[in-house]
Amino acid sequence: MNPITLIIIYFTIFMGPVITMSSSNLLLMWVGLELSLLAIVPLLINKKNPRSTEAATKYFITQATASMIILLAMVLNYKQLGMWEFQQQTNSMLLNLMLISLSMKLGLAPFHYWLPEVTQGVPTHIGLILLTWQKIAPLSILFQIYHLLNPIITSILAISSIFIGAWGGLNQTQTRKIMAYSSIAHMGWMMAILPYNPNLMLLNLIIYIILTIPMFIALVTSSSTSINSISLSWNKAPTILIMTSLILLSLGGLPPLTGFLPKWIIISELLKNNALTMSTLMAMMALLNLFFYMRLIYSTSLTMFPINNNSKMITHHPNQKHTFIMPTLTIISTLTLPLSPQLIA
């Protein structure tokens, strides 16, 4: 693709969520969502193969449907109140429509079916954008209207996403699908705390992004698309394997790593609000997530598949240039827990 075209596309993808985050006007929020949607489609179909075309089509249809429902809710709200903002007087059905459409954009269960397929069908670095940057705009809208949303529907979406994210990842062998189901589970944790303390949702989102970026960099560096291929990456980038193991444990929420912090704080907050059953179910499902992360660690670090020559190390791997940021991100994603008193305060 032409470099100038790429710059314009990436700039538009960057500006979409920024416009949505910095707007209180519903129409401008919708414009930001549309910018990020339309800009990423050319990147999805950049590789001319049926899998990419299928992924781009699924993504576009799902996101366009959600955008249409969002616009419908905004226009009906304007017709009712005469303003481009949701208020206490807004019809609850319009707010439920807004919540459901934003859930479709985020890939929350039961609107999650497109996310693993699309992530699997696109290049790994585009999958990273889908699972991190593209989540910011819908979450920022939810952050602004959280006090108007129905807490029961929000909790149902959260619990179902955590369940699907845990159970769905168990039988996957493709690394991108595993990361997609991991994303669904993390979005569920964010939705669970949204009605009680939206600031903790932002903390969870930041930590999730910090953990996901180095994981995807590791997958790109080792050119791994499945558990089988990641197990053979020890001779391409041996140092990456140690970092990958730590990041996976942190993603699973194992103390004393950084990933434990949002789970710990969210469960504490839920218990303060007497959501005992919900927090118990979430903690149990977190163990299933940890199980399939451990399976990846077992394949990468604790086993060595039989190959022709065990002594050859590929020291000059073409993707090694991506690894300069890995140590910093790995340190942040594993050693931030001692800072938790300052974060909570």
**What pLDDT, on a 0 to 100 scale, did the predictor assign at position 218?**
87
- CA 269/CA 267 separation, integer angstroms: 5
Pick the closest to residue 23 from 13, 32, 11, 35 (CA basis). Answer: 32
Mean pLDDT of 162-173: 92
Mean pLDDT of 299-320: 58
pLDDT digits (tens, 9 = 90+) for 95-110: 999 999 999 999 999 9
- CA 314/CA 316 separation, integer angstroms: 6
What is the value of pTM for the model shown?
0.92
What is the percentage of the chain residues whose pLDDT exceeds 90?
Answer: 68
* Domain limits for position 208: 3-344
In the chain, how many domains are there? 1
pLDDT reading at 320 higher than 70? no
pLDDT digits (tens, 9 = 90+) for 110-140: 999 999 999 999 999 999 999 999 999 999 9
pLDDT reading at 53 higher than 80? yes
pLDDT digits (tens, 9 = 90+) for 61-102: 999 999 999 999 999 999 999 999 998 888 999 999 999 999
Please, what is the average pLDDT of the chain?
A: 88
Tell me which residue has tokens 């969002």.
70
pLDDT reading at 276 higher than 90? yes
Tell me which residue has tokens 């991100």.
329
Pick the closest to residue 264 from 179, 207, 183, 195 (CA basis). Answer: 207
